[in-house]
């Protein structure tokens, strides 16, 4: 029972090590690609949320302008209906 390995046994392990290293490199490459895609999706989501917030703000401004217009029309109508003098 010799603890030394023969050259044939040592040579048989080299392709296994290379295969493991290649699989690790492939997994790392796939993980990097996945993270890049996810960061792109997060960036797109951020832009979509910004656009939604801008649209909501524009909608609120238009609603405020419409309300101000309606109030102005009512004030002018009441002023002209009752006259300028009390």
* Per-residue pLDDT at 45: 96
Q: What is the pLDDT of residues 25-74, one digit of tens each?
A: 999 999 999 999 999 999 999 999 999 999 999 999 999 999 999 999 99
* Per-residue pLDDT at 3: 62
pLDDT-based confidence at 85, cuts 50/70/90? Answer: low
Residue 15: CB atoms within 10 A of its CB come to 9
Higher pLDDT, 58 or 8: 58
* Per-residue pLDDT at 19: 87
CA torsion through residues 47, 51, 54, 60, sign: negative
User: What is the token pair recorded at 73?
Assistant: 């029309």
pLDDT-based confidence at 79, cuts 50/70/90? Answer: confident
């Amino acid at each position: 029972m010799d603890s030394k390995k023969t050259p044939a046994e040592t040579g048989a392990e080299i392709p296994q090590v290379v295969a493991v290293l290649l699989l690790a490199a492939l997994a790392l490459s796939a993980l990097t690609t996945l993270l890049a895609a996810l960061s792109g999706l997060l960036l797109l989501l951020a832009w979509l949320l910004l656009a939604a917030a801008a649209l909501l703000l524009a909608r609120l401004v238009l609603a405020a302008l419409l309300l101000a217009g309606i109030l102005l029309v009512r004030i002018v109508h009441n002023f002209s209906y009752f006259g300028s003098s009390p």
